[in-house]
Structure 1
Amino acid sequence: MAEGQDVFARARGRTVRGFRQDEEYQWKAPFYFIQGADPQFGLMKAWAIGDCGSGGDEWEEEIKLTEQAVQAINKLNPKPKFFVLCGDLIHGMPGIKAVFSGHCHKNAGGFYKGLEMVVSSAIGCQLGEDTHGLRVVIVTEEDIVHRYYSLNELSNQGIGKDLLDLLVKQN
């Protein structure tokens, strides 16, 4: 594949073509990657108040730590080969209007008592008719607006003007 094409569309046959076969096929030298786990936004307050069933309405500490982790990784030299984030991403959701998830490997969702469930299709293996992609979510004071984009569409055309206009209104 040409340089700059979608790295996520390169996974085939239990390999990632982002690692060039002619360069990566045979062992040449040590490398490293970064593995992070459990940012679990909301757990620190819940743990502090001794009630892990609630209290997940404050994320400030976890956001600072996650930003610190990203900054630390970006400063590393040499750069890691890749970064993988595992485990629980969130613990609690303040002011829940929508829940975003995956695991279904196709787009799905619905509403229940004013709560929207949004299931985004996979970056990797597709089990439905959807293309490999990502969901862009715009959060305004009044609303949450989201759209699923194929990786090619997002790479080539970017975020739609209507969604970008929502960001401009907020600034």
Structure 2
Amino acid sequence: MAGEDDIFLRATQRTYKGLTQDEEREWRGPFCFIQAADPQLGLMKAWRVGDCDGGGDEWTEEVRLTQQAVRAVNELRPRPRFVALCGDLIHAMPDSPFREEQEKDLKEALRLTDPDIPLVFVSGNHDLGNTPTPATVEQFRRTWGDDYFSFWVGGVLCLVLNSQLFFDASGCPQLAEAHDAWLERQLQSAAHSTARHVLVFQHIPLYLRTPDEDDEYFNLQRVQRASLLRRFHQAGVKAVFSGHYHRNAGGSHGGLDMVVSSAIGCQLGDDPHGVRVVVVTADEIIHRYHSLEQLSERGIDEDLKKLLA
């Protein structure tokens, strides 16, 4: 690689180096990838002491869990085509004194990832602030790459969205308008493209259980939700992958799966620390959440080989 930081800054100019349409537009057969969410360095102690609005002054446990996830992913065979980290990379908000150190420690853990497995970073509310501004968005871009972009893998079109601009764009309305205009162009193009599937990655779920559920902190507001569902359906989106909830959830609506994956880091329910293994076939998107311990067991390789045969 040209430099060690390239693995964190490959999303640029609204695409992803090495995973462009020119390079990856052709379907080459089934493959797998990893969807993970919320390593959120600093939350576990903050949650225990009841100070979840703080930056969290200790994150050794999350670093260990992230390292465990990286080691397990590196050993998977067949090798995943990419890993998508769906937001809340760290717990410290943009103005927290702990932010720079948490980012440094997370990068040190992620640098252990096999260089043949690209890392795709999705922005979350802790990465941008609950009410993002042009300054916090730019801060994210300097550290992790673009906050929204598209990429292609083996004939599959993937859209990475900035869901915070759906949730509360009052601090950066012009950025939200640009994001929405870009998304509309992408969806219009997807509807007429040769993509085998269209997938979306964002931090905040459209919904947790059903499309008509009430608004809450962990889902998008119903007006936004209904609009996005309509637009995604028209474009042929097959699945939306998200995190944010720190529990597994989701559902299906009109052939579009809403996949909510629990966290690498702090759990707010009964799920184990883990990641989701996703198998893409010609006709299906098959996914299963695995604990980090399960992911380390070599039996999963045989399951993958059967699905990818």
TM range (shorter): 0.5 to 0.7
Residues 1:131 and 2:272 are matched in the alignment: yes
Identify the residue that residue 16 of structure 1 maps to in structure 2.
Answer: 60
Q: For this pair of structures, how many residues does the alignment match?
A: 114
Letter aligned with residue 110 of structure 1: G
Q: Deviations over 1:14-71 (max 9, x none)?
A: 321558xxxxxxxxxxxx946313252238xxx9xx9424122579xxxxxxxxxxxx
Counterpart among 36, 40, 48 of residue 144 in structure 2: 36
| Larger helix share, 1 or 2 | 2
Q: Is the 8 A contact 1:100 1:119 kept in 2?
A: yes
Q: What displacement does 1:151 show?
A: 0.6
Shift of 1:165: 1.7
1:55 aligned residue (185, 190, 194): 185
> 2:242 — aligned with what?
101
Which structure 2 residues correspond to residues 1-171 of structure 1 after superposition, within 5 A? 13=45, 14-17=58-61, 18=63, 33=104, 35-38=143-146, 40-42=148-150, 51-56=181-186, 95-157=236-298, 159-167=300-308, 169=309
> Could you say what secondary structure the match of 1:116 adopts?
strand
- C-alpha change, 1:39 and 1:140, in structure 2 (3 Å) is farther
Q: Supply the AA of the counterpart residue of 2:240.
A: V
3-state secondary structure, aligned to 2:307: helix
String of CA shifts for 1:73-103, please: whole Å, max 9, x gaps. xxxxxxxxxxxxxxx78xx976411111111
Q: Which amino acid aligns with 2:251?
A: G
Report sequence identity in percent.
Answer: 46
RMSD value over aligned CA atoms?
3.6
1:55 partner letter: R
Instruction: Please say if residues 97 and 115 of structure 1, whose CA atoms lie closer than 8 Å, have aligned partners that are also in contact.
Output: yes
Distance 1:126 1:156, change over 3 A: same
Of structures 1 and 2, the one with the larger relative CO (CA 8 A, separation 6+) is 2
Letter in 1 for 2:300: I
- Could you say which residue in structure 1 is the equivalent of 2:76? none
CA distance in structure 2 between the aligned counterparts of 1:160 and 1:147, rounded to whole angstroms: 13
Go from structure 1 to structure 2 and tell me whether the alpha carbon gap of 1:115 and 1:161 turns closer, same or farther (over 3 Å shift).
same
Secondary structure of the residue that 1:38 maps to in structure 2? coil
The amino acid across from 1:134 in the alignment is V
CA distance in 2, matches of 1:96, 1:159: 28
Q: 1:53 to 1:154 in 2, by over 3 A?
A: closer
Residues 99 and 116, structure 1, Cα contact 8 Å, conserved in 2: yes
Paired residue type of 2:149: F
Seen in structure 2, the aligned counterparts of structure 1 residues 159 and 40 have a Cα distance that, compared at 3 Å, is farther
Q: Quote how far apart the aligned CAs of 1:166 are.
A: 2.2
TM-score, reference length from structure 1: 0.53
Distance 1:124 1:161, change over 3 A: same
List runs of 5+ in structure 1 lacking aligned partners.
1-7, 20-31, 60-87
